[in-house]
Amino acid sequence: MKKKLLVLIISILLSFGFIIPSNVSAHLAGQPPFFKINGTYSGYYPVYSTSLSSLTLPQDLAPDKYLVNQPIEFEIDTKQLQKVVPEEVIGKTKFIWDFGDGEKREGVKNTHIYTKMGSYILTIHADTSAIEKDIPPQLLQSVLLNVLPHKDYKLPQSVIMVNGKTSKDPITDVLSFEFKEKLHFDAYRSTAPSSSIVSYFWDFGDGQSDIQKVIEHSYTKDLQIVFPLLRIKDQNGFISDSFVEISNALLQTQNNPLKAAQTKPSQMNNEDKRPSQLPYVALGVAILVFFIISTRWLRKLKGKK
């Protein structure tokens, strides 16, 4: 009975997205962070989603910058994790680490040294085969770390311009253009102060991509909102991602001419404009409620023994 309940918990974890695809944040909105680097919890990566399965976005961003040959301590805070995952599940899970430089390990704590500069995406997969053999290892955490050659190294910065305009804040400063014409994208304002930019990669937010520094792109007229993304890389292997939000001015005018004329993007609520976050608040609450109930069941089962 107990094993069946644990299998049910894993199945619901998978269906609700706590153990999730690579392009969504590992700790959902409203849930406690659980991954520490040198004693400090990692935070959300500032670029939330991509329309391309081929583009890997980290879920989190390391809380600091690190140096080549510096020992870095990593930890999965199991006490924090137990707030949303039963202790029984954690105890039977194998955590598989890939540091992004070719080295792999297991466990809940690890110390690692990066011997070359660059941006690395550390990933951790949860292997729950001890509970249910038919479930393959699932991505639990991925975090971007920047390993500098010296403390004064300046990281590259990705900047998107659309039809000559930039966005001060991708959440509140929404760009608006009519999708009946091609839009002009360029990365001229992107910088790499300590190096030089060697590659550009555009995700236009509609499943299309390009690698040119300057490019024109057309959207279908029925699209209402898109989130284009630009990734640049410097010659030392450091990456920088940025995105903007573009709304279809033509479609807005057709749907509600008065609202389109009177409402400015900066007046909108920040949370309403945050892509891919609101659904996870509801999911986080649902998962939390489920685990409160399932934990009580487990306690009752123990008491009957």
**Residue-number span of the structural domain to which 93 is assigned:** 17-149
Q: Which CATH number fits the domain that encloses residue 210?
A: 2.60.40.10
Residues 78 and 125 grouped into a single domain: yes
Residues 115 and 198 grouped into a single domain: no
Residues 32 and 107 grouped into a single domain: yes
Number of domains in the chain: 2
pLDDT tens figures, 228-279: 999 999 999 999 999 999 999 987 755 554 443 333 333 333 333 334 333 3
Residues 30 and 145 grouped into a single domain: yes
Residues 246 and 189 grouped into a single domain: yes
Residues 118 and 188 grouped into a single domain: no
pLDDT tens figures, 33-85: 899 999 999 999 999 889 999 999 999 999 999 999 999 999 999 999 988 88
Residues 227 and 193 grouped into a single domain: yes
Residues 117 and 26 grouped into a single domain: yes
Q: What is the pTM of this model?
A: 0.76
271, part of any domain: no
Residues 29 and 144 grouped into a single domain: yes
Got the DSSP string for the chain?
-HHHHHHHHHHHHHHHTSS--TTS-SS-TTSPP-EEETTEE-EE-S----S-TTS---SEE-SS-EETT-EEEEEE-HHHHTTTS-HHHHHTPEEEEE-SSS-EEESSEEEEE--S-EEEEEEEEEE-TTT-TTSPPEEEEEEEEEEESSTTPPPPB---EETTB--S-TTTS-EEE-TTS-EEEE-TT-B-TTS-EEEEEEE-SSS-EE--SEEEE---TT--EE--EEEEEETTS-EEEEE--EEEHHHHHHH-HHHHHH--GGGS-HHHHSTTTHHHHHHHHHHHHHHHHHHHHHHHHHHH-
pLDDT tens figures, 192-232: 999 999 999 999 999 999 999 999 999 999 999 999 999 99
pLDDT attached to residue 259? 40
